[in-house]
């Protein structure tokens, strides 16, 4: 089962002692059931803010977000960059956590958790504890945990960003394989353009802060996909096209940061009359 997502004109402001930051302005995006939507954009443009809203753990000031048909809220699951496993629980019990919270019986949740551990190739580590695993393995446990909870929408916030390049590639291949079998609705945030094009049915590019969706690129590359796709001309042309669009936004966001920094410096320096000569 998978569900649609409709985001309409969503706006979000953060207020702090330094003033107000407009994180998102008039953000709209539609994700079809079973679609793999990647979101890329410059650092600080509001990607995590948007994903937290979809997970129901972040508020917004304007607009509407509808998950599924709008009457029975679909189940969502989130995978973060930090592995966020419980250190005191075994791998199996980490994977079974969501099921336990939903009062699924012991035997059934062990069966489901083992099934997903098997899907991520970690059956042998069922009784191990998180500290005994490598970063890539921990992230596989986090993915198994998210999927074991049988979500209709899977939300992923730069899940492989902390992994070394080789492990990252293996994880991408693995995610493609798992997604192919499950066809969940996925919203996947990444700053790696190649990853977005490799995984996504669409790549949505966000503007510099205040973030909104600037362009949604359909990725009409055949599936099932494998890492070898990255060597094809069609793949590289898509990466280049979206990259050119992103570079403009990265430059805009850098100008913004420099602007913020010079305003801060100005605010920190004494008023003109008191300047030392």
Binding site for Mg ion (CB under 5 A): 48
22 forms part of the interface with ligand ADP (CB under 6 A): no
Q: What 3-state DSSP class applies to 206?
A: strand
The neighbouring-strand residues paired with 277 are none
The neighbouring-strand residues paired with 218 are 202
Nearest distance from residue 246's CB to ligand ADP, in Å? 12
Among 3, 23, 85, 148, binds ligand ADP (CB under 6 A): 23
The neighbouring-strand residues paired with 31 are 5
Nearest distance from residue 188's CB to Mg ion, in Å? 12
Nearest distance from residue 6's CB to Mg ion, in Å? 22
Rounded CA-CA distance 251/274 in Å is 36
Among 6, 28, 32, 48, binds ligand ADP (CB under 6 A): 48
49 forms part of the interface with ligand ADP (CB under 6 A): yes
Q: What 3-state DSSP class applies to 244?
A: helix
Q: Residue 14 touches which of Mg ion, ligand ADP, none (CB < 5 to 8 A by kind)?
A: ligand ADP
Between residues 138 and 209, which has the closer beta carbon with respect to ligand ADP? 209
DSSP state at residue 105? -
Rounded CA-CA distance 145/96 in Å is 7
Q: Residue 68 touches which of Mg ion, ligand ADP, none (CB < 5 to 8 A by kind)?
A: none
Region label for 30, one of left (φ > 0), alpha (ψ between -120 and 50) or beta (otherwise): beta
Cα distance between the two ends of the chain: 70
Contact of 73 with 67, CB cutoff 8 Å = yes
The contact mask relative to ligand ADP for 198-237 (x = CB under 6 A, - = no) is -----------x----------------------------
Between residues 17 and 166, which has the closer beta carbon with respect to ligand ADP? 17
Q: Residue 251 touches which of ligand ADP, Mg ion, none (CB < 5 to 8 A by kind)?
A: none
**H-only helix segments in the chain:** 47-54, 91-95, 97-101, 106-119, 135-148, 165-182, 193-199, 233-268
44 forms part of the interface with ligand ADP (CB under 6 A): yes
CA-closest candidate to residue 198, choices 241, 228, 242: 228
43 forms part of the interface with ligand ADP (CB under 6 A): yes
Residues of this chain that interact with ligand ADP (CB under 6 A) are 14, 16, 21, 23, 41, 43-49, 209
């Amino acid at each position: 089962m998978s569900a649609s997502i409709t985001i309409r004109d969503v706006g979000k402001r953060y207020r702090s002692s330094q003033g107000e930051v407009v994180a998102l302005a008039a953000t709209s995006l539609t994700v079809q059931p079973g679609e793999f939507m990647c979101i890329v954009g410059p650092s600080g443009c509001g990607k995590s803010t948007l994903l937290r809203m979809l997970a129901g753990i972040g508020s917004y000031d304007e607009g509407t977000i509808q998950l599924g048909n709008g009457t029975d809220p679909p189940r969502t699951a989130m995978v973060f960059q930090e592995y966020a496993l419980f250190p005191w629980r075994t791998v199996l019990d980490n994977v079974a956590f969501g099921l336990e919270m939903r009062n699924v019986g012991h035997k059934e949740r062990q069966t489901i958790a083992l099934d997903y551990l098997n899907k991520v190739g970690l059956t042998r580590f069922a009784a191990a504890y998180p500290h005994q695993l490598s970063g890539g393995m921990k992230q596989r446990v986090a993915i198994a945990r998210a999927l074991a909870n049988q979500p209709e929408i899977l939300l992923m916030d730069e899940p492989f960003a902390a992994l070394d390049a080789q492990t990252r590639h293996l994880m991408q291949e693995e995610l493609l394989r798992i997604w192919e079998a499950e066809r969940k609705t996925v919203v996947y945030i990444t700053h790696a353009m190649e990853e977005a094009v490799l995984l996504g049915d669409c790549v949505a590019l966000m503007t510099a802060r205040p973030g909104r969706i600037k362009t949604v690129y359909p990725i009409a590359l055949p599936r099932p996909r494998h890492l070898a796709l990255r060597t094809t001309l069609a793949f590289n042309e898509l990466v280049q096209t979206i990259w050119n669009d992103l570079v403009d936004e990265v430059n805009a966001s850098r100008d913004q940061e420099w602007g913020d920094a010079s305003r801060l410096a100005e605010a920190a320096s004494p008023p003109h009359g008191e300047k030392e000569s």
